[in-house]
Amino acid sequence: MSVLDSKIPEGPIAQKWTNHKNKINVVNPANKRLIDVIVVGTGLAGGSAAASLAELGYNVKALCFQDSPRRAHSIAAQGGINAAKNYQNDGDSTYRLFYDTVKGGDYRAREANVYRLAEVSANIIDQCVAQGVPFARDYGGLLDNRSFGGVLVSRTFYAKGQTGQQLLLGAYSAMNRQIGKGKIQMLNRHEMLDLVIVDGKARGIIARNLVTGELERHSAHAVVIASGGYGNVFFLSTNAMGSNVTAAWRIHRRGAYFANPCYTQIHPTCIPRSGDYQSKLTLMSESLRNDGRIWVPKKMEDVEAIRNKTKKPVDIPEEDRDYYLERRYPSFGNLVPRDVASRAAKERCDAGFGVNETGEAVYLDFSSAIMRYGHEKANILGEHDASIERVRALGEAVIEAKYGNLFQMYEKITDDNPYKTPMKIYPAVHYTMGGIWVDYNLMTTIEGCYAAGEANFSDHGANRLGASALMQGLADGYFVLPYTIGDYLAHDIRTGKISTDLPEFEAAEKEVRDRLEHFLNNKGTKSVDHFHKRLGKVMWDKVGMARNEQGLKEAIEEIRQIREEFYKDVFVPGTMNEFNPELEKATRVEDFLELGELFAIDALHRTESCGGHFREESQTEDGEALRDDKHFAYVAAWKWTGEPGKQELHKEELTFNDIELKQRSYK
């Protein structure tokens, strides 16, 4: 039944990408000047793609809804970026990074794509250093590394807790060079609201200028969607407030299959929620698990004492603490992958051991690391009989140098000093592995429409390893798309400029205008946020960290209900032709309300547990996720058929030739 052709090149896995690059069509430099490409989104994937395509000579138009491309949400990535450089001589290799990523994704990713990702990872670091990205270095002046969850080597490059910022500013600087030359036309404060298809090919978009409110038509020979993930379907997530699914959802409605929507990463270390007014959740980098130990009290009376504030965490003696990750997973300990760590936290909190008022928090404790680093530093300084206080002070200084900005961020939000008392953390929605289905060339099921970065589904399977999102975004934008898009555009050198007067543009613009006017004329009684929060609550309660058949069926019903009410009763103030943030939110939430339903449908159909998708019906005796390779070793790609919730399932079977399918174990 499948119509999906993944276009994986022939040959042994290590040669696929090289062979493919050698065989694909190339557009000559004079002809590149005749070709236009639109890039939607300017994060790591979109920014690096826009810059690289412009360097090659294409005329690029890039859009972002923020006031500058530098503000895309990649900027908030903290911990680092993986690359198989093996600078630490600890046995890392392209194969090992490939293996770790496929295993970490619980064997639900496409082997060939992941191998290519591992292969180009080393180039990314070289490229970024050449751009002047200030990665952390050691005293010899060479690049430093740290470890992340789910792997046994140190391959993560970082710039304190601001790695995403530094990498994005690198891509932004590459864009600036091309904007200055006029090769990129940058459209800030613009939002794509529809894709225009002419003769079966993506030929442009309808965008709204968010300052003037005008609708604009932009034509191109190819359109790249790099608009990020859809975690905000949960309302509360670590995503930025503006992060949305609209660009991806609108191409889905125009024919791009949406793959594995239920694969969502719930990140284990976020600051717990504190009240109903809360607008977003803040991540504390996974890098903290290098040095922080996660625990809850062993005894219920200690939990109660902490909740009613008669005891502090430092009062609980060592033997009464349950370092549950170290207990359950001795070989990976606190560095198990994110999905495993999140579920383990939920398990302890569900059992009643949560350490705050809501019962949804565990401790992340740095006291052991502070003392360990303190002793090390005292030895270096020759202070062999340093007092405990002195050792602690030295250790705190080391921790500050490593994670200073994260500790400061934590203190500002919670008013607690994490050097003196353990952090309180709880899992939160962070990243979406699912996304637009793409083939090996990153083309969607619409000809000439590509998806890159978090917006596509391709590389992380059912669970993403830490520090791999930055790697994938930049790999797609710098090193994959610039090659593969040429293969397609080589057939377009004689097409000439696409006119925006074509009836297809006319019709698409009218549809968008009607949608917007509907909202403005609706005159309901409730704000957009009201509906978004309700959707988020259903998603978190029933389509969150643990899912079951009954809950998912209820969720589908409830989401339909909320959507109906939304159309009847939403109130959007203001007018069309002005700066109108409520109108922006309305179209985004409209799309989240449709995606949410598909998300739950996908989760319902996949009766196995895998990676971030945990079905309560499918678990081992000790509560670990139980995969069903016989029935579910495929990518679920959903085709729009004209109505929300009525998508048709297509399967891309996954074959594993280079890695043996095994039950994942981190014990």
Partner 1 sequence: MKLTLKVWRQKSANDKGRLETYQLDNVSEHMSFLEMMDVLNEQLISEGQEPVAFDHDCREGICGMCSMHINGEPHGPDRGVTTCQLHMRKFKDGDTIYVEPFRAKGFPIIKDLVVDRSAFDRIQHAGGFVSVNTSGNTQDANAIPIPKDDADKAFDAATCIGCGACVAACKNASAMLFVSAKVSQFALLPQGKVEAKQRVLNMVEQMDKEGFGNCTNTGACEVECPKGISLENIARMNREFLKAACSAE
- Least gap, CB of 507 to partner 1 (angstroms): 31
> Residue for token digits 């590149």?
32
In the bound state with partner 1, the residue whose beta carbon lies nearer, of 87 and 567, is 87
Q: Is 338 a catalytic residue?
A: yes
Of 7, 177, 253, 553, the one binding partner 1 (CB under 8 A) is 177
**Residue 381 DSSP one-character state:** T
Secondary element (H or E) of residue 649: strand 648-653
- Least gap, CB of 231 to partner 1 (angstroms): 13
Segment 156-175, which members bind partner 1 (CB under 8 A)?
159-160, 162, 165-166, 169, 172-174
Pairing state of beta strands 184-187 and 59-63?
A: parallel
Contact flag: residue 130 with partner 1 (CB under 8 A) = yes
- 381 Cβ neighbours under 8 A, 6+ residues apart: 394
Token readout for 32 is: 């590149």
CA-based nearest residue to 459, from 429, 451, 166: 451
Of 357, 541, 557, 578, the one binding partner 1 (CB under 8 A) is 578
Of 31, 88, 154, 176, the one binding partner 1 (CB under 8 A) is 176
Contact flag: residue 621 with partner 1 (CB under 8 A) = no
- What span, in angstroms and rounded, lies between the C-alpha atoms of 536 and 296? 28
Contact flag: residue 532 with partner 1 (CB under 8 A) = no
- 224 Cβ neighbours under 8 A, 6+ residues apart: 37, 38, 39, 40, 46, 49, 449, 450, 451, 452, 481, 485
Question: In angstroms, how far is the first alpha carbon of the chain from the final one?
Answer: 39
Secondary element (H or E) of residue 560: helix 549-569
Of 88, 131, 209, 356, the one binding partner 1 (CB under 8 A) is 131
Of 115, 135, 148, 366, the one binding partner 1 (CB under 8 A) is 135
What character string, x for contact with partner 1 (CB under 8 A) and - otherwise, covers 37-76?
A: -----------x--xx--x----------xxxxxx-x-xx
Binding segment (CB under 8 A) for partner 1, from list 101-109, 246-254, 274-282, 493-501: 274-282
Q: Are 658 and 112 in contact (CB under 8 A)?
A: no
User: Over the range 154-166, which residues count as b (16 or more CB within 10 Å of their CB) and which as e?
Assistant: bbbbbbbbbbbbb
Helix pair angle (481-489, 44-56), 10° resolution: 50
Residue of 338, 534, 588, 664 marked catalytic: 338
Binding segment (CB under 8 A) for partner 1, from list 138-146, 287-295, 555-563, 613-621: 138-146
Segment 397-426, which members bind partner 1 (CB under 8 A)?
408-409, 412-413, 415
- Least gap, CB of 664 to partner 1 (angstroms): 31
Contact flag: residue 620 with partner 1 (CB under 8 A) = no
- Least gap, CB of 187 to partner 1 (angstroms): 11
Q: Are 423 and 292 in contact (CB under 8 A)?
A: yes
CA 301, 303, 309, 314 dihedral sign is: positive
Of 140, 317, 382, 642, the one binding partner 1 (CB under 8 A) is 140
Indicate the SS3 state at residue 505: helix
Binding segment (CB under 8 A) for partner 1, from list 122-130, 287-295, 492-500, 550-558: 122-130
Contact flag: residue 185 with partner 1 (CB under 8 A) = no
* Active-site annotation, residues: 338
